[in-house]
């Protein structure tokens, strides 16, 4: 190393080693929190000073109830709290969210259509925003940070725009958006990403990028409908919150949302389809995938002893095993009995035993999912295919039997079937025959495994790990004090200029004038000339 390099390294360390970063991660869902926390912890490990509003604090002051699954998941990432990673605890949001779901009979354990999810979206963001502002911890943080200087804000980019009021009271730092899902309208719009309903499927649809006429029609409808919901519901709600909690600030909530330096997406194209993106949007890959921790000894032993592989059956954190109706449960039990040499790990969130449980099935309320999927004997994952589960199955190369319920799960199920990396089963079609046929196909036909391994090698083939890539981009924004050079001008264009309406009107006007003039000249000169000649001729006859 020559002295210049050393100076360079020193300058580099000096430049970014002590940045004050504020993280705003509102959604009380472990699958949303996991990738974002992976990034904030990595930044803290690099020496940055992090203050993070999160529903999954690592040194949680709040008491979550025992039977609450997210709490148990939290144990998995229980790391030593870092001195320079301060958590502002909003984990009470989990309990509140459950309470509100129960009160309003909202169930995430039934089939929900894309239109319904989009139509209800503003209720969700409204409620989650109110949870953040309603937290005494956040109120106190607002007082504490008011007038201080923050160098950068990390922000979950799901239209919680009012929370960007923090930008206004902390010296206008650049904002980096984070997204734990495949991008869709709420995150595409503020980055200026093109949404072409002709070949970019809305990520809540069971469509691929090659759509039929009816799929394109529905895709267009969802795109327009979600614009409408955003414009007339989401935006005003966020504007109200901004005024209510931050007073008379300079920018509107919309301007804050549309002024992010960068959007980092915790996903890649192994689990979606190619599509155009502005340079202010980067896919880094699934950030939440960690080196799997060793399995508990007895579980490891049980898995090692499986004669003919293992099936892992978990419908994610929203769906409880007990909420699968009895006849559907029986369908699985009977089907598992037909594969006595294959062992089954069944995530079963209830204190009661499963009646008629076969010998080869092991029930647990919770499993360390990544360590399970990494086990060499694991052959099949029966999943609701939320994005994180799909990404983990892909990373570890495990074929999937997808049972999608709502939001992006249908999109993932379609991608899995499309790639030949698994099969789909409609929740309503769960019968013994349907389950058995699919299990048999998935366990005997080697193509599914091969195709999933192909996706696996795609997702693993990156110059840097997803978290390291994201850290690099965050420091890039820090080094350049924002990234306005990546901001596409489309964000400032009125819609009629974007669609070139003014230009087309201009061209049409000119064409019209030319045609009119030509017609005028024709009738006035040539035509009269011919006519007069003709009449003259007639007269002469």
Ligand X SMILES: *[C@@H]1O[C@H](CO)[C@@H](O)[C@H](O)[C@H]1NC(C)=O
Neighbours of 243 (CB within 10 A): 15
Rounded Cα–Cα distance for residues 83 and 106 (Å) = 39
Rounded Cα–Cα distance for residues 331 and 327 (Å) = 6
Count of residues near ligand X by CB under 6 A: 17
If one asks whether residue 51 binds ligand X (CB under 6 A), the answer comes out as yes
How far from 48 is each of 21, 330, 331, 339, CA to CA, in Å?
7, 52, 52, 52
Which is closer to ligand X, CB of 133 or CB of 273?
133
Three-state SS sequence of 107-149: CCCCCCCHHHHHHHHHHHHHHHHHHHHHCHHHHHHHHHHCCCC
Tell me the closest approach of the beta carbon of residue 148 to ligand X, in angstroms. 6
Q: Which residues contact 302 (CB under 8 A, 6 or more apart)?
A: 343, 362
Which is closer to ligand X, CB of 20 or CB of 207?
20
CA-nearest of 372, 396, 392, 395 to 384 is 392
Interface mask (CB under 6 A) for ligand X, residues 312-351, using x and -?
Answer: ----------------------------------------
Rounded Cα–Cα distance for residues 111 and 149 (Å) = 46
If one asks whether residue 283 binds ligand X (CB under 6 A), the answer comes out as no
Tell me the closest approach of the beta carbon of residue 94 to ligand X, in angstroms. 25
Tell me the closest approach of the beta carbon of residue 59 to ligand X, in angstroms. 16
Bridge partners of residue 50, in order along the sequence? 21, 85
Residue from 27, 29, 31, 49 touching ligand X (CB under 6 A): that is: 49
Please, what is the angle between helix 114-134 and helix 136-145, to 10°?
60
Tell me the closest approach of the beta carbon of residue 333 to ligand X, in angstroms. 53
How far from 244 is each of 135, 169, 230, 233, CA to CA, in Å?
15, 14, 20, 17
Residues 85-144 that bind ligand X (CB under 6 A): 142-143
Which is closer to ligand X, CB of 187 or CB of 261?
261
Tell me the window of 128-136, 246-254, 307-315, 403-411 that interacts with ligand X (CB under 6 A).
Answer: 246-254
If one asks whether residue 174 binds ligand X (CB under 6 A), the answer comes out as yes
Tell me the window of 124-132, 169-177, 206-214, 300-308 that interacts with ligand X (CB under 6 A).
Answer: 169-177
If one asks whether residue 259 binds ligand X (CB under 6 A), the answer comes out as yes
Residue 111 CA from chain centroid, whole number: 19
Which is closer to ligand X, CB of 126 or CB of 168?
168
If one asks whether residue 482 binds ligand X (CB under 6 A), the answer comes out as yes
Which is closer to ligand X, CB of 47 or CB of 356?
47
* φ, ψ of residue 153 in degrees (nearest 5): -115, 130
If one asks whether residue 247 binds ligand X (CB under 6 A), the answer comes out as yes
If one asks whether residue 146 binds ligand X (CB under 6 A), the answer comes out as yes
If one asks whether residue 169 binds ligand X (CB under 6 A), the answer comes out as yes
Residue from 255, 510, 513, 530 touching ligand X (CB under 6 A): that is: 255
Tell me the window of 6-14, 95-103, 232-240, 243-251 that interacts with ligand X (CB under 6 A).
Answer: 243-251
Residue 334 CA from chain centroid, whole number: 35
Binding site for ligand X (CB under 6 A): 20, 49, 51, 142-143, 146-147, 169, 172, 174, 246-247, 251, 255, 259, 261, 482
């Amino acid at each position: 190393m020559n002295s210049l390099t050393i100076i360079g390294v020193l300058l580099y360390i000096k430049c970014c080693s002590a940045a004050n970063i504020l993280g705003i991660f509102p959604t009380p869902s472990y699958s949303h929190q996991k990738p974002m926390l992976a990034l904030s912890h990595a930044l803290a490990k690099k020496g940055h000073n992090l203050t993070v509003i999160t529903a999954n604090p690592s040194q949680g002051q709040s008491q979550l109830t025992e039977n609450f699954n997210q709490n148990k998941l939290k144990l998995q990432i229980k790391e030593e709290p870092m001195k320079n990673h301060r958590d502002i605890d909003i984990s009470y949001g989990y309990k509140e969210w459950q309470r509100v779901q129960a009160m309003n009979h909202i169930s995430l354990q039934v089939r929900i259509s894309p239109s319904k999810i989009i139509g209800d979206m503003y209720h969700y963001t409204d409620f989650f925003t109110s949870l953040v502002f309603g937290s005494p911890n956040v109120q106190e943080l607002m007082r504490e940070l008011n007038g201080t200087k923050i160098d950068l804000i990390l922000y979950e980019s799901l239209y919680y725009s009012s929370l960007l009021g923090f930008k206004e009271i902390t010296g206008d730092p650049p904002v980096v958006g984070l997204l734990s899902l495949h991008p869709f309208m709420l995150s595409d719009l503020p980055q200026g990403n093109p949404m072409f309903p002709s070949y970019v499927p809305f990520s809540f649809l069971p469509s691929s990028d090659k759509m039929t006429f009816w799929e394109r029609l529905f895709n267009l409808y969802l795109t327009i409908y979600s614009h409408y919901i955003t414009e007339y519901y989401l935006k005003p709600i966020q504007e109200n919150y901004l005024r209510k909690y931050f007073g008379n600030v300079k920018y509107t909530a919309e301007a804050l949302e549309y002024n992010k330096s960068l959007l980092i997406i915790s996903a890649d194209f192994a689990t979606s389809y190619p599509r155009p993106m502005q340079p202010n949007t980067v896919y880094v890959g699934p950030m939440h995938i960690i080196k799997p921790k060793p399995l508990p000894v007895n579980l490891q032993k049980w898995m090692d002893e499986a004669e003919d592989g293992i099936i892992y059956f978990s419908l994610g954190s929203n769906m409880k095993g007990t909420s699968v109706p009895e006849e559907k449960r029986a369908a699985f039990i009977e089907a598992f009995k037909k594969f006595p040499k294959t062992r089954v790990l069944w995530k079963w969130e209830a204190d009661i035993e499963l009646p008629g449980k076969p010998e080869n099935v092991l029930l647990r309320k919770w499993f360390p999912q990544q360590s399970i999927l990494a086990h060499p004997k694991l052959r099949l994952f029966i999943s609701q295919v939320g994005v994180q589960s799909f990404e983990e199955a892909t990373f570890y190369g495990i074929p999937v039997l997808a049972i999608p319920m709502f939001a992006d799960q249908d999109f993932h199920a379609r991608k899995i079937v499309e790639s030949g990396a698994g099969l789909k089963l409609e929740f309503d079609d769960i019968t013994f025959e349907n389950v058995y046929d699919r299990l048999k196909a998935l366990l005997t036909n080697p193509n599914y495994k091969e195709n999933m391994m192909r996706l696996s090698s795609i997702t693993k083939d990156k110059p840097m790990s997803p978290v390291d890539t994201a850290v690099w981009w965050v420091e890039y924004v820090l080094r350049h004090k924002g990234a306005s050079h990546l901001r596409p001008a489309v964000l400032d264009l009125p819609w009629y200029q974007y669609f070139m309406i003014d230009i087309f009107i201009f061209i049409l006007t000119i064409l019209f004038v030319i045609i009119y003039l030509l017609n005028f000249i024709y009738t006035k000169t040539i035509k009269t000339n011919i006519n007069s000649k003709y009449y003259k001729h007639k007269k002469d006859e």
